[in-house]
């Protein structure tokens, strides 16, 4: 069975510092991995995805994520956090032949303080 | 290009009433997904359609919930009768052409409150 874990309910960072939001996954076969962000009272917005190729994926708003197959991880990173990055972040996984069904993690709240 | 459109944005109803949530996917997308988000359970997939056909409804909580997609540009999620525990934010998402690699685009959600 597929599953996604986001081990931290909340991550706190100071503005200007690097941030990392962690995600680990469990899936048979090759995973397709996604990050979404949700601002208050809004729908989820796509940030980036890993399908194949380069393990470092660059996405919207300066975010990037690194796929690590041996550690089954797909952590979201940003070199310099902004207060406006404060939001709820979701990691999700699907796999080939699954007709697009995504399994989401429970979400991590990112709080960036000035 | 308009994104996924959901209506209403907010719905307040009383227990026992019928509730209908509506979704218009992005034009050209042929997969549509209904999710429910609560504090307790997070984001749950309820049902998804591919080419207007329900593919997996294993997430539908019980028979009170039903979903239809009569054509490529419209879907409904109905709860009858509604209960207070159905209070949640319901999201619709669409993608194309519905394979594992494709990005799902979410609507703004419908916040349902059942009193």
Question: At B31, phi and psi to the nearest 5?
Answer: -120, 140
Of the pLDDT bands very low, low, confident and very high (cuts 50, 70, 90), residue A107 is: very high
Which of A53-62, B14-23, B25-34, B88-97 is the most confident on average?
B14-23
Please count the residue pairs, one from chain A and one from chain B, whose beta carbons lie less than 8 angstroms apart: 64
Give the pLDDT mean for A58-76: 95
- Do B101 and A90 count as a contact with CB atoms less than 8 A apart? no
Whole-number pLDDT of residue B1:
62
Nearest-by-CA chain A residue for B91? A43
Q: What average pLDDT score do residues B55-70 get? A: 93
Residue of B100 and A58 predicted with greater confidence: A58
Angle (CA) B42 A105 B11, round 5°: 25
Question: Is the per-residue pLDDT at B47 higher than 80?
Answer: yes
The pLDDT score that the predictor gives to residue A5 is: 96
Nearest CA in chain B to A98: B100
What pLDDT shows up at residue A59?
A: 94
Place of tokens 């799902």: B104
Mean pLDDT computed over B102-107: 90
Looking at the complex, report in whole angstroms how far the Cα of residue A5 sits from the nearest Cα belonging to chain B: 12
| Residue range B47-53: mean pLDDT, rounded | 92
Which residues of chain A neighbour B95 with C-beta distances below 8 Å? 100
* Of residues B4, B56, B109, nearest to A101 (C-beta): B56
pLDDT for res A42: 87
Q: Give the residue-averaged pLDDT of A38-53.
A: 92
pLDDT at A98 over 70: no
Residue A99 pLDDT greater than 70, yes or no: no
- The overall average pLDDT reported for chain A is 93
- Between CA A91 and CA A102 the distance in angstroms is 10
* pLDDT of A95 higher than 90: no
B43 in contact with chain A, both atoms CB, cutoff 8 A:
yes
Tell me whether B115 touches chain A (CB under 8 Å): no
The per-residue pLDDT for B100 is 65
| List of residues 6+ apart from B19 with CB closer than 8 A | B11, B13, B78, B79, B80, B82, B86, B112, B114
Instruction: Using a CB–CB cutoff of 8 Å, tell me whether B45 touches chain A.
Output: yes
For residues B60-82, give the mean pLDDT: 95
**Mean pLDDT lowest for which of A2-16, A62-76, A93-107, B69-83?**
A93-107
Residues of A with CB under 8 A from a CB of B: 32, 34, 36, 42-46, 49, 51, 90, 94-107
Given a cut of 70, is residue B99 above it in pLDDT?
no
Indicate the pairing of strand B19-24 with strand B10-13.
Answer: unpaired
């Amino acid at each position: 069975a597929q599953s996604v874990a986001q081990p931290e309910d909340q991550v706190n960072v100071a503005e200007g510092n690097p941030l990392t939001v962690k995600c680990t996954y469990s899936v048979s076969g090759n995973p397709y991995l996604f990050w979404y962000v949700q601002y208050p009272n809004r729908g989820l917005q796509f940030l980036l995805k890993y399908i194949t190729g380069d393990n470092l994926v660059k996405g919207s708003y300066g975010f990037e994520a690194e796929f690590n197959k041996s550690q089954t991880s797909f952590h979201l990173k940003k070199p310099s956090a902004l207060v406006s990055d404060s939001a709820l972040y979701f990691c999700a996984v699907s796999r080939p032949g699954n007709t697009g069904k995504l399994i989401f993690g429970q979400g991590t709240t990112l709080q960036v303080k000035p | 290009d308009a994104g996924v459109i959901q209506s209403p944005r907010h719905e307040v109803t009383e227990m026992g009433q019928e509730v209908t949530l509506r979704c218009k996917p992005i034009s050209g997308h042929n997969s549509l997904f209904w999710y429910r988000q609560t504090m307790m359970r997070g984001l749950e997939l309820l049902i998804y359609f591919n080419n207007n056909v329900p593919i997996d409804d294993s997430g539908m909580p019980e028979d009170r919930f039903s979903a239809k997609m009569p054509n490529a540009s419209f879907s409904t999620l109905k709860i009858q009768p509604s209960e207070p525990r159905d209070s949640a934010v319901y999201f619709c998402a669409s993608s194309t052409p519905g394979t594992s690699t494709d990005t799902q685009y979410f609507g703004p959600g419908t916040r349902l409150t059942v009193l």
